[in-house]
Structure 1
């Protein structure tokens, strides 16, 4: 049975910690601006020491990062946790997390943050929210797709949240851009697509994240999908949501093969892939070739170019929640229920 955090309400406290990468001094203003936006909306903010530092691809030592995260997970006065962004080597703190002491509270993010989200849901059955990062919430207005994260975090257990695909997405990144009215420059038309180019519907429990990082949990105690499925999902089907940050087409293909051969897709009812700027062809082999082969070998419906991951904006996908996802005519929609 999945456990959902209590609804986040105005007046409560959000903790900011950096279990992966911290923020270099020249970008500290991004954190301050994001903090201001939450405070303007009625939330209290506590910022951990790790947010302000960065050394050798991480915010701090693995012990310091784990200790700060454990303290926030166990602090009943903190009702949600949002890292500034992802990073590279969050995985090294997973053995140091006190899983059995973690209180159910929302954790939000993507990229390497999804390593923590995935592992926490795997180990404890606590639902986690794969969605936007803190620094992408520094504008006075939040775009309609991104802003749905707050509907999710403020929902009671059992609630249903409906989300639709974005109208446009951002084709290029720039942290120097002034966020008016949104952080993102939504300049390109969004089109969700499916392998075989036909309407698709899939239902099941959501599970996923950034493929570049969660693939390394295969074969570890933090990626035991079979035990998680049997223990917490009672053999319900899984709808996977995945995104490729930096992998070439062949690395992407190898990763999918590894996931499949490790049994991750054994209970799947479908797979949704996010937009990506990665996936460069290798010898004429493309990511679409990989998706076609995956569809052939698994006989699963596959959606791609969805609002997930490093090409914003993002919908919010809750690890453990029950969802129905539909795609037709280039448009996607997801009805997500916080079902135990």
Structure 2
């Protein structure tokens, strides 16, 4: 059984940096994000770790873990959204006490996905892979990003529908933000290795493969134990975002996860758009996807709205999903069951 947090109206957002904080030169950008959210009716409580950054982390592992744990326990905080991801979130995991975890939403992507997947696997509490806090600083939100709030206010027993974006952002222009932060100029097209329409169903799990792959073989990445306890006999749909891996490294990582049993009873795999995927000896990302589909005999859908080329869907770790791809357009229905 999966436990689903619920986001109330006019919630208070706790902002902590379990990975990277905001360097001083970008404090104004973060402050703008806070002001925009207040204008939209949210209250915000930034933690100390948000304002510091040194040697690839916001603070010591214990300080980051303690601040996160305090926000989880704080009854006045309704949801936790880190400012963004980073590099070394994995350092804090051994300092967290998941026996004292409270069911409230944690939302983010990139390095934050290490925390999201770990929470769900170790507690059965659903977590939300989606926008970062600083990406909510626009005058308005594009329609894909804006769904985060509707998804997180879905009640247990209900469902929520999201569709693929019309356009996506090819590259970041931090010094030239648009009214919705992103520059959505490229046509979105979801694809399938068999070049045909496809339908898959199962429980969603995933994140940024660069970092969540390091959970395999640790107590924090025990997918088998999670499945036996919380979703016995149910199929899983994995979704991945590739931030920096070459195609050979991506292939090695996927094989590691396969050998670790993560893909047992897997009904399909989704890959987000990526500016990485540098080919190695003409071995392309599409080759990786086809090899994986052949290995596992399952559908592989790619270039979906997930990860470092926004906008992105809000995908719930633990939710039951029905995914349709038809003529390069995707529909994701998530059931909070």
TM-score normalised according to structure 2 size: 0.99
Which ranges of structure 2 fall in alignment gaps of 5 or more residues? none
1:138/1:179 contact within 8 Å kept: no
Cα deviation, residue 284, structure 1: 1.2
Paired with 2:290 and 2:263, the residues of 1 have a C-alpha distance of 15
The alignment partner of 1:323 has SS state of strand
Cα deviation, residue 229, structure 1: 0.7
Partner of 2:292: 294
Matches within 5 A, 1:188-267: 188-267=186-265
1:236/1:267 contact within 8 Å kept: yes
Paired with 1:88 and 1:37, the residues of 2 have a C-alpha distance of 27
2:159/2:336 contact within 8 Å kept: yes
Paired with 1:113 and 1:169, the residues of 2 have a C-alpha distance of 22
1:248/1:279 contact within 8 Å kept: yes
Cα deviation, residue 196, structure 1: 1.3
Matches within 5 A, 1:59-74: 59-74=58-73
Structure 1 residue runs of 4+, over 6 Å off?
Answer: none
Matches within 5 A, 1:26-41: 26-41=25-40
Paired with 1:177 and 1:110, the residues of 2 have a C-alpha distance of 22
Query: Per-residue displacement from partner, 1:199-223 (whole Å, max 9, x unpaired)?
Result: 1111011000000000000000111
Does structure 1 residue 23 correspond to structure 2 residue 18? no
Cα deviation, residue 323, structure 1: 0.6
1:17/1:68 contact within 8 Å kept: yes
2:236/2:267 contact within 8 Å kept: yes
Partner of 1:6: 6
Cα deviation, residue 6, structure 1: 2.3
1:8/1:155 contact within 8 Å kept: no
Partner of 1:329: 327
Does structure 1 residue 172 correspond to structure 2 residue 197? no
Partner of 1:187: 185
TM-score normalised according to structure 1 size: 0.98
2:177/2:183 contact within 8 Å kept: no
Does structure 1 residue 110 correspond to structure 2 residue 104? no
1:76/1:103 contact within 8 Å kept: no
Paired with 1:274 and 1:184, the residues of 2 have a C-alpha distance of 17
Partner of 1:156: 155
Paired with 2:29 and 2:97, the residues of 1 have a C-alpha distance of 30
Cα deviation, residue 159, structure 1: 2.1
Cα deviation, residue 197, structure 1: 0.5
Cα deviation, residue 286, structure 1: 1.1
Partner of 1:56: 55
Query: Per-residue displacement from partner, 1:166-201 (whole Å, max 9, x unpaired)?
Result: 000001102112332x11000000000000111111
1:8/1:80 contact within 8 Å kept: no
Cα deviation, residue 86, structure 1: 0.3
1:132/1:316 contact within 8 Å kept: yes
Which ranges of structure 1 fall in alignment gaps of 5 or more residues? none
Paired with 1:280 and 1:179, the residues of 2 have a C-alpha distance of 28
User: CA-atom RMSD, angstroms?
Assistant: 0.8
Partner of 1:132: 131
1:34/1:135 contact within 8 Å kept: yes
2:163/2:332 contact within 8 Å kept: yes
Paired with 2:227 and 2:145, the residues of 1 have a C-alpha distance of 29
Cα deviation, residue 245, structure 1: 0.5
Structure-2 change in CA distance of 1:292 and 1:178 (3 Å): closer
2:7/2:79 contact within 8 Å kept: no
Paired with 1:75 and 1:196, the residues of 2 have a C-alpha distance of 48
